[in-house]
């Protein structure tokens, strides 16, 4: 493939040549741009409505690129033509324009822009827009809202804050990857190893591989979020692109939405060097525990079981009754995850700049203990650099961003730790003997703490860099190139000691170790041309660009066995045998041409046309390239004079709609390749699949309509959107008879998944006085997913997972018939009467997952105090927590005691014949319940020490703050973790932290 690289070189040369060609032309053109008028110095002070000086206000000479920024005392100084005009703009204030008229001093009072709908720049990926002008659906969360949260994954911070964005943090173990779905599940492939539902993540213009890193130990089921290594405090904003208008420019990668993460840069040019230091620390504990039986209740049920079964307890089947201490009580939840996690976070950033260069350097350290016994913790260190440079004439702009993070998951190897805490009988033996050694109680139990000896050390190093160059060739015409490089290196080492096994089987075991390495490297180059001009009464914005991207993904897993001594475990050289259990090397190449054409007429009518033609190496050679496009339109009807005159309280009204196609290239790499792989046994090669040369992407057609309203000078804003996304061309295993050698072949089927829903976003400024300000915002999502079509589903592996005409998240259940009065055991219906219970009898379809969800947040400030809190609510149903049938050697929820007494539950029995009907009933509505919850997700309180007190200390700002996460949860759910019903996972932690922030 040498040829490719030489071609690439050729391409790069042409691009460079092009740049130089235009640079020379443009430089020539620039000199002709002479100022005709007399220049003079203008100075003044900019203040707010209360007369307080406002620093950082951008002052520009109208129709030029010349500008200045007000200093701390609100002072500015600028050279301008005497007959010109000055424009003052600053986020949060209305832009103000004033004619100079020969004056040399102009003092300005800026008026606060209450909702600032038109001012906040929204990152739409390749271009920027504003809430007012946008034609697509883009949700935005600013860094301020998330930077204080004592959490690890940035995505977790978005919970409850955005409509249409469902984030499920399945585990409270630090570092666990949350599951994120933007407007529902589009792809039928939803397993961790083959998932077609991941959004596209872009950090500072650079796409990063967002699939969770295969987990180990307690992170095993969720995996580790590769975004953990980002510094939360370093995030300027997170934008989520949802509809066709916003995502079609990402073509075959936009089907599941796009998450844009922008990191902070130096605030502005011409600023003095500023230092911000923040420290917080606090504690966390599990946000929920279950009420379980106490020893007395437990033993009563056990004894009753033997009575019911007519059996005499013996030492084999009733060691808990006969061998263990009947008066012992241990709260196993307290023992195993009742600890307190200590959290410490340090953050330091320095920013500054002169007229042409600004910078920001940031570093952070975050440490989080665990709620488990033993000395385990999560820690991360991050460093970031952001550099902006512009030439004096502002034609040339350079920006560099560099984000590096290292995190370390120091845990232990056990996947049953949480379920142990729920199921160990309350009179199970003491953990330790008097001499401090682990107690095995004559081998009658597996001491859960034995696992703590098996350490798992998981380190992720992640570098994300991007470099952007832009040059304004002519007025309105800019050439830009973004280049990026990412490098993620992950190394996980796990050891298993002989001593972690029961003493009686220890001798047949060996010390062993496992090591896992993932490397994800990628580079990207995106040359672009943008053009903007006034045409007629409107503005035209155009963009055309290209993408070249290459990614490499390596996975290696090695296990070592038979170490002679404990100290050697992990030293593969000392292992008796070393085995490579996984070796995967994946290359991915991607190229595209994309374009955008946006036009608005009188800031009233908006049309936005986006498209992309892209090619991906994941598709078969004859299916490599595809076109994607979308049309978005908006009409600000409040600008019409009819509306203005007749509905005066309506300050803003917009109708918008969009339609277009996107795709998902989240399909297995090399799926089309007719190839052999190594057999598990040595020296062999074998074909592992049938080859389909027509492998292609999944297609997603998106339709959206929305209404946005602003009332009372935009003090109240309401947005309602309706969407319908249809994903077809689903890549599924097409069933084949065994005579073909394999049970299926990967193929695109006309199976169609439809996601529809309503999203409501509301915000209001309830009170705004000089001292007191109260803002409320609310978001609500009503989603619905349906499998519209799936030909021959009954012959595929999805037969017992999905049902045509129903949502994707369903449970197929037996028909629960109550308790058999004769046996006292559960009964489910044998629908086909064949005497067996199988999927054929599971005809009851119950919808699981979220019916609706949302969040309400309030921001209150009074003088120097501020308070903000966010409630998250989710309406859903889910499985109850899993327990054995009552009567077996396993603890039970506390209500089981009463339930058995009242005859509402299956009677106690320790017989195998009781476990079978119980397991059938587990798969019936009897064990499914409302798992809705309302949670005080975040609560923040801060106090700014008055500036007067700080002046002597040369400190510009000093803030004290308190922050709490998951402080309160209201739920009827009878299980451990309402966020992941029935999952038996550690609930999110309830944390309280306090700290201070100093600005110099």
Partner 1 sequence: MLRNIYIRQLFILLVILINTSCEDFVEIETPKHKIVSATVFAEDETAISAMTGIYNELFNADFSGGWRSSVSVLSGLSSDVLEPVNSNSVSNAEFNQNEISPNNDYNFNLWSSTFNIIYMTNALLEGLSNSEGVSEEVSLRLEGEASFIRAFSYFYLVNLYGDVPIILSTDYEQNSLVTRNNREAVYELIIEDLEASIVFLDSHTESEDRTRVNKFVATAMLARVYLFMEDWEKAEILSNQVLAETSKYEILENLDEVFLPNSKEAIWQISPIGGNVLTNTNEGSVYIGTSRSSIKLSDQFVSSFSLEDKRLDQWVGFYSDTNRAFHFPFKYKDRSSTNNITEYSMVLRLAEQFFIRAEARARTGNLSGAIADLDEIRSRSNLETISESNPGIGQEQLLELIQEERKKELFSEWGHRWLDLKRTNRASEILSPFTSWEDTDVLYPIPEEDRMKNPNLTQNDGY
| Residues 380-419 interacting with partner 1 (rule: CB under 8 A) | none
**Which residues lie across from 844 on neighbouring strands?**
813
Judged by CB under 8 A, the stretch of 442-450, 453-461, 573-581, 750-758 that binds partner 1 is 573-581
Phi, psi torsion values for 650, nearest 5 degrees = -85, 105
> In angstroms, rounded to a whole number, what is the distance separating the alpha carbons of residues 598 and 608?
4
Q: Among 603, 669, 789, 830, indicate the residue that binds partner 1 (CB under 8 A).
A: 669
Collapsed DSSP state (helix, strand, coil) of residue 91: coil
Strand 730-735 to 772-789 pairing: unpaired
Question: What is the smallest separation between the CB atom of 8 and partner 1, expressed in angstroms?
Answer: 7
Q: What is the distance between the alpha carbons of residues 210 and 196, in angstroms, rounded to a whole number?
A: 12
Residue 536 touches partner 1, criterion: CB under 8 A: no
Cα–Cα distance for residue pair 710/120, rounded to 1 Å:
16
As measured in angstroms, the least distance from the Cβ of 672 to partner 1 is 11
Stretch binding partner 1 (CB under 8 A), from 66-74, 83-91, 173-181, 616-624: 616-624
Which one of residues 83, 740, 913, 951 is an interface residue with partner 1 (CB under 8 A)? 740
For partner 1, the closer of residues 10 and 601 by Cβ is: 10
Neighbours of 10 (CB within 10 A): 10
Return all residues near 235 (Cβ < 8 A) that are at least 6 apart: 143, 146, 147, 154, 261, 262, 263, 264
Give burial (CB, 10 Å; 0-12/13-18/19+) of 549. buried
Of residues 92 and 684, the one with the C-beta less far from partner 1: 684
Rounded Cα distance, 986 and 371, in Å: 10
Q: What string of DSSP letters covers 270-301?
A: SEEEEEEEEEEEEEEEES----B--HHHHHHH
Q: Using the rule CB under 8 A, is 473 a contact of partner 1?
A: yes
Task: Pick the closer one to partner 1 by CB: 477 or 860.
Answer: 477
Candidates 218-226, 274-282, 470-478, 515-523: pick the segment binding partner 1 (CB under 8 A).
470-478
Q: Are 266 and 351 in contact (CB under 8 A)?
A: yes
Dihedral pair phi/psi, residue 904, rounded to 5°: -85, -20
Residue numbers 790-819 binding partner 1 by CB under 8 A: 794-795
CB-based contact 120:112 (threshold 8 Å): no
Residue 875, C-beta contacts closer than 8 angstroms, at least 6 positions apart: 850, 851, 852, 853, 932
- Give min distance, CB of 675 to partner 1, in A: 4
Q: Smallest Cα–Cα separation from 33: which of 389, 394, 355? A: 394
DSSP letters spanning 425-457: -TTPPPSB-TTSSBP-GGGTS--GGGGGGSEEE
Give dist(CA 71, CA 55) in Å, integer.
Answer: 5
CB atoms within 10 A of CB 504: 9
User: Using CA atoms, how far apart are residues 785 and 182, in angstroms rounded to an integer?
Assistant: 12
The least CB distance from residue 557 to partner 1, in Å, is 12
Q: Which range, of 2-10, 167-175, 426-434, 763-771, touches partner 1 by CB under 8 A?
A: 2-10
> Which residue's entry shows tokens 């845990």?
411
Which of 268, 591, 633, 829 forms a contact with partner 1 (CB under 8 A)? 591
Report d(CA 321, CA 306) in Å as an integer: 11
Minimum distance, C-beta of residue 959 to partner 1, in the bound complex (Å): 50
Q: Give the footprint of partner 1 on residues 295-354 (CB under 8 A).
A: 316
Instruction: Give the residue with the Cβ less far from partner 1, 311 or 544.
Output: 544
Nearer to partner 1 (CB atom), residue 575 or residue 870:
575
Answer yes or no: are the C-beta atoms of 975 and 981 closer than 8 Å.
yes
Counting contacts by CB under 8 A, is residue 470 touching partner 1?
Answer: no
Number of residues that bind partner 1 (CB under 8 A): 74
| Span interacting with partner 1, options 204-212, 263-271, 492-500, 741-749, rule CB under 8 A | 741-749
**Residue 675 is a binding residue for partner 1 (CB under 8 A):** yes
Cα 432 to Cα 449: distance, rounded to the nearest angstrom: 9
Residue 911: alpha-carbon gap to chain centroid:
45
Tell me, residue by residue from 478 to 517, as one string, x for binding to partner 1 by CB under 8 A and - for no binding.
Answer: --------------------------------x-------
Q: Does 20 bind partner 1 (CB under 8 A)?
A: no
252 binds partner 1 (CB under 8 A): no
CA torsion sign for 645, 647, 649, 651 is: negative
The CA–CA distances, whole Å, from 37 to 61, 85, 103 equal 13, 12, 15
Residue 1 or 52 having the CB closest to partner 1 = 1
Residue from the set 51, 310, 648, 682 that interacts with partner 1 by CB under 8 A: 682
Q: Residue 544 interacts with partner 1 (CB under 8 A)?
A: yes
Give the residue with the Cβ less far from partner 1, 225 or 510.
510
Stretch 625-644 residues interacting with partner 1 (CB under 8 A): 625
Task: Report the site for partner 1 in 167-196 (rule: CB under 8 A).
Answer: none
Minimum distance, C-beta of residue 676 to partner 1, in the bound complex (Å): 5
Task: Identify the three-state secondary structure at position 864.
Answer: coil
Q: Which of left, alpha, beta for 268 (phi over 0: left; psi -120 to 50: alpha)? A: beta
Distances (CA, A) of 276 to 354, 365, 806, 1000: 18, 14, 52, 7
Stretch 74-93 residues interacting with partner 1 (CB under 8 A): none
* Comparison of 342 and 446: residue with beta carbon closer to partner 1: 446
> Among residue numbers 689 through 708, which ones bind partner 1 (CB under 8 A)?
690
Question: Near partner 1 by CB under 8 A, which window of 438-446, 579-587, 636-644, 985-993?
Answer: 579-587
Q: Which stretch binds partner 1 (CB under 8 A): 471-479, 718-726, 930-938, 974-982?
A: 471-479
Check binding of 846 to partner 1 (CB under 8 A). Answer: no
Q: How far is the CB of 619 from partner 1 (least distance, A)?
A: 8
User: Is the Cβ–Cβ distance between 130 and 118 less than 8 Å?
Assistant: yes
Binder among 616, 891, 892, 906 for partner 1 (CB under 8 A): 616
Of the candidates 173, 151, 231, 567, which has an alpha carbon nearest to the alpha carbon of residue 409? Answer: 173
Answer for which of 674, 771, 820, 972 binds partner 1 (CB under 8 A) is 674
Closest approach of partner 1 to the CB of residue 668, in Å: 12
What are the C-alpha distances in Å from 251 to residues 208, 469, 753?
A: 16, 24, 19
Nearer to partner 1, 355 or 584 (CB): 584
CB of 796 to partner 1, least distance (A): 10
With contacts defined by CB under 8 A, name the span among 285-293, 587-595, 750-758, 941-949 that binds partner 1: 587-595
Q: Which stretch binds partner 1 (CB under 8 A): 13-21, 265-273, 408-416, 599-607?
A: 13-21
For 939, phi then psi, to 5°, come to: -140, 125
Q: Out of 92, 102, 503, 684, which residue is the one contacting partner 1 (CB under 8 A)?
A: 684
Per CB under 8 A, contacts with partner 1 among 821-840 are 836
745 lies in the binding site for partner 1 (CB under 8 A)? yes
Please say which residue, 119 or 475, places its beta carbon nearer to partner 1.
Answer: 475
Query: Per rule CB under 8 A, is residue 30 in the interface with partner 1?
Result: no
Q: Point out which span in 78-86, 133-141, 734-742, 963-971 binds partner 1 (CB under 8 A).
A: 734-742
Among 27, 587, 767, 968, binds partner 1 (CB under 8 A): 587
How far apart CA 305 and CA 633 sit, in angstroms, is 68
Q: What angle do CA 809, 812, 818 make, to 5 degrees?
A: 130
With CB under 8 A as the contact rule, which of the stretches 32-40, 402-410, 731-739, 889-897 interacts with partner 1?
731-739
Stretch 192-231: interaction string toward partner 1, x if CB under 8 A: ----------------------------------------
Q: Does 19 bind partner 1 (CB under 8 A)?
A: no
């Amino acid at each position: 493939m040498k040829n490719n690289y030489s071609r690439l070189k050729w391409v790069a040369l042409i691009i460079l040549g092009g740049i130089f060609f235009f640079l020379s032309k443009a430089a020539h053109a620039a000199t002709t741009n002479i100022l005709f008028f007399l220049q003079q110095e203008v100075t003044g002070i900019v203040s707010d409505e209360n007369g307080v000086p406002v620093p950082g206000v951008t002052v520009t000479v109208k129709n030029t690129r010349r500008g200045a920024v007000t200093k701390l005392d609100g002072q500015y100084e600028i050279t301008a033509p005497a007959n010109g005009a000055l424009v003052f703009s600053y986020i949060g204030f209305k832009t103000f324009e004033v004619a100079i008229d020969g004056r040399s001093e102009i003092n300005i009072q800026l008026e606060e822009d209450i909702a600032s709908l038109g001012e906040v720049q929204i990152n739409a990926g390749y271009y920027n827009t504003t809430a007012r002008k946008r034609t697509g659906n883009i949700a935005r969360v600013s860094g301020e809202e998330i930077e204080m949260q004592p959490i690890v994954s940035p995505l977790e911070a978005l919970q409850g804050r955005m409509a249409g964005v469902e984030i499920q943090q399945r585990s409270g173990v630090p570092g666990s990857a949350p599951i994120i779905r933007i407007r529902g599940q589009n792809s039928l492939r939803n397993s961790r190893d083959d998932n077609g539902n991941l959004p596209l993540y872009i950090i500072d213009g650079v796409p990063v591989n967002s699939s969770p890193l295969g987990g180990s130990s307690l992170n095993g089921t969720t995996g580790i979020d590769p975004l953990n290594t980002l510094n939360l405090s370093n995030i300027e904003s997170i934008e989520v692109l949802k509809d066709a208008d916003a995502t079609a420019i990402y073509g075959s990668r936009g089907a599941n939405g796009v998450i844009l993460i922008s990191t902070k840069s130096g605030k502005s040019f011409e600023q003095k060097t500023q230092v911000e230091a923040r420290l917080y620390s606090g504690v966390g504990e599990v946000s929920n525990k279950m009420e379980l039986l106490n020893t007395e209740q437990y033993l009563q049920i056990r004894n009753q079981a033997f009575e019911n079964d007519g059996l005499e307890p013996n030492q084999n089947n009733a060691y808990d009754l006969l061998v263990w201490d009947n008066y012992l009580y241990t709260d196993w939840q307290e023992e195993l995850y009742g600890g307190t996690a200590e959290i410490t976070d340090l953050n330091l950033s320095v920013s500054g700049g002169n007229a042409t260069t600004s910078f920001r350097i940031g570093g952070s350290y975050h440490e989080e203990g665990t709620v488990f016994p033993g000395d385990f913790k999560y820690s991360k260190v991050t460093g970031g650099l952001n550099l902006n440079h512009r030439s004096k004439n502002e034609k040339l702009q350079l920006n560099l961003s560099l984000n590096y993070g290292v995190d370390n998951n120091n845990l232990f190897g056990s996947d049953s730790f949480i379920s142990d805490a729920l199921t160990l009988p309350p009179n199970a033996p003491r953990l330790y003997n008097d001499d401090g050694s682990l107690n095995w109680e004559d081998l009658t139990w597996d001491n859960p703490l034995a696992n703590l000896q098996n350490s798992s050390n998981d380190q992720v190093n992640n570098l994300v860099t991007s470099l952007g160059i832009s040059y304004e060739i002519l007025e309105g015409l800019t050439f830009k190139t973004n280049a990026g490089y990412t490098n993620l290196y992950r190394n996980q080492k796990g050891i298993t000691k002989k001593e972690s096994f029961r003493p009686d089987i220890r001798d047949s075991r060996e010390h062993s170790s496992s090591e896992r390495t993932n490397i994800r490297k990628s580079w990207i180059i995106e040359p672009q041309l943008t053009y903007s001009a006034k045409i007629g009464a409107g503005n035209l914005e155009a963009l055309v660009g290209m993408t070249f991207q290459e990614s490499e993904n390596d996975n290696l897993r090695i296990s070592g066995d038979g170490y002679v001594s404990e100290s050697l475990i992990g030293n593969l050289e000392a292992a008796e045998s070393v085995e490579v259990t996984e070796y995967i090397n994946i290359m991915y190449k991607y190229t595209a041409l994309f374009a955008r054409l946006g036009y608005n007429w009188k800031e009233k009518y908006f049309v936005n046309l986006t498209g992309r033609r892209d090619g991906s190496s994941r598709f078969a050679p004859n299916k490599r390239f595809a076109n994607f496009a979308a049309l978005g339109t908006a009409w600000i009807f409040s600008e019409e004079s009819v509306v203005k005159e007749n509905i005066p309280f309506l300050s803003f009204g917009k109708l918008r709609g969009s339609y277009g196609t996107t795709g998902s290239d989240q399909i297995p790499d090399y799926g089309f390749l007719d190839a052999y792989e190594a057999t598990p046994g040595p020296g062999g090669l074998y074909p592992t699949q049938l080859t389909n040369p027509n492998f292609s992407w999944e297609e997603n057609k998106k339709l959206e309509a929305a209404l946005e309203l602003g009332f009372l000078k935009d003090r109240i804003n309401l947005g309602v959107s309706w969407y319908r996304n249809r994903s077809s061309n689903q890549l599924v295993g097409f069933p084949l008879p065994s005579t073909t050698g394999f049970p299926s072949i990967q193929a695109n089927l006309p199976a169609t998944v439809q996601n529809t829903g309503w999203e409501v976003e509301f915000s209001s400024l309830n009170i705004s006085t000089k001292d007191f300000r109260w803002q409320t915002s609310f978001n609500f999502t009503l989603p619905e997913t349906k499998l519209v079509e799936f030909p021959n589903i009954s012959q595929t592996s999805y037969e017992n997972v999905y049902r045509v005409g129903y949502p994707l998240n369903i449970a197929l259940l037996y028909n629960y018939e109550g308790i058999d009065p004769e046996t006292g055991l559960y009964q489910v219906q044998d629908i086909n009467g064949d005497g067996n219970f199988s999927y054929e009898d599971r005809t009851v379809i119950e919808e699981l997952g979220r019916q609706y969800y949302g969040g309400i947040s309030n921001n209150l400030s009074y003088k120097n105090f501020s308070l903000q809190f966010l409630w998250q609510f989710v309406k859903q149903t889910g499985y109850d927590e899993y327990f054995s049938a009552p009567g077996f050697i396993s603890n039970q929820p506390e209500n089981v005691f009463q339930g058995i007494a009242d005859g509402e539950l299956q009677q106690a029995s320790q017989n195998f014949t009781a476990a079978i009907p119980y397991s059938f009933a587990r798969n019936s509505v009897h064990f499914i319940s409302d798992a809705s919850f309302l949670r005080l997700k975040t609560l923040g309180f801060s106090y700014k020490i008055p500036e007067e007190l700080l002046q002597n200390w040369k400190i510009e700002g000093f803030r004290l703050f308190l922050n709490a996460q998951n402080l309160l949860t209201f739920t009827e759910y009878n299980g451990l973790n309402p966020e992941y019903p029935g999952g038996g996972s550690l609930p999110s932690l309830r944390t309280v932290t306090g700290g201070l922030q100093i600005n110099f």
